[in-house]
Chain A
Amino acid sequence: GAVVSQHPSRVICKSGTSVKIECRSLDFQATTMFWYRQFPKQSLMLMATSNEGSKATYEQGVEKDKFLINHASLTLSTLTVTSAHPEDSSFYICSAYKADGEKLFFGSGTQLSVL
C-alpha cells in the first residue's frame, strides 16, 4: 500500500516556540494533503486541506496564521504551529489521497506537547 511518512513522531517544546511537522508521500504524488488534529479519546478534526502550489483551505475556526501550511511539492506538506502554547498540545495527523482518491493514507501522527 501507499506510504505516508510524518515527522517528527513526538515533540516537546517550550511555550512561544514554533514547531514544524512534515508529511511526505513516499511512493506516490499527492496534490492534496489533509491535516487533522486529535485530542485524547476523540475523533479526528479536519484542520485544513493542503494544495500543492496554492494556499491551503482552512476549516472554520482554525487560525491560518497560527497553523501555517506549505505544500511545496507533490510529495511534501508541512504544518508549522507558530508561537505554540499549552492549548496547542495535541496529536496532529496528516493524510493524502492516492491516484483514484477513494481512500486516505495516513501518516503515523505527531504528538505535540507544549510546556
Chain B
Amino acid sequence: SQQGEEDPQALSIQEGENATMNCSYKTSINNLQWYRQNSGRGLVHLILIRSNEREKHSGRLRVTLDTSKKSSSLLITASRAADTASYFCATDETGGFKTIFGAGTRLFVKA
C-alpha cells in the first residue's frame, strides 16, 4: 500500500478540548506535512516539518516528528467546532517526487 497509517480513524471531542492525531509512515522522508480537508473540498496545507526537525508550532497546531519511529503527531489545542474536518499526513519520500497521503483522521468537534 502506498499509504501510511493514521490513528484514530475518527475522533469526536467537545469544543475546547485538545485533539491529537497520529501518523506512521514506511520510508525515509524529506519532510512530512499535515493537510486539512473539509467534506467534498480540496486540501489545505497546515504545516510542514522537515526530517531534521522534531517539533513545530503554528498557532493552535503542534506537530512532532520522530524519524526513528517513523511517526508524527498533530495536536490541535483548544479545539473549535470549525476545526471539524478530515486531517491527513503526507510524506515526501527521500529521493522521490511524490507525496503519499495517510489514511486520514476524521475529527468532529461538538459545540
Q: Which residues of A contact B (CB under 8 A)?
A: 4, 6, 32, 34, 36, 41-46, 49, 59, 91, 93, 95, 102-109, 111
Contact = CB atoms under 8 A, between A and B. Distances in A.
Give the residue among B2, B35, B101 with the most A Cβ atoms within 10 A: B101
A5 to B, nearest CB: 10
Interface size band for B: 20 to 34
A44 B101 contact: yes
B43 A106 contact: yes
B2 A103 contact: no
B103 A106 contact: no
Contacts of B45: 103-105
Contacts of B60: none
Contacts of A107: 42
A108 B41 contact: yes
Nearest to A59: B2
Contacts of A109: 40-42
B31 interface: yes
A4 B40 CA distance: 16
Given A32-B97, A109-B42, A111-B40, A103 B33 contact: yes
Interface in B52-105: 88, 90, 92, 97-104
Given A32-B97, A102-B48, A91 B104 contact: no
A43 B99 contact: no
10 contacts: A41-B106, A44-B88, A46-B98, A46-B100, A46-B101, A59-B2, A102-B92, A107-B42, A109-B41, A111-B40
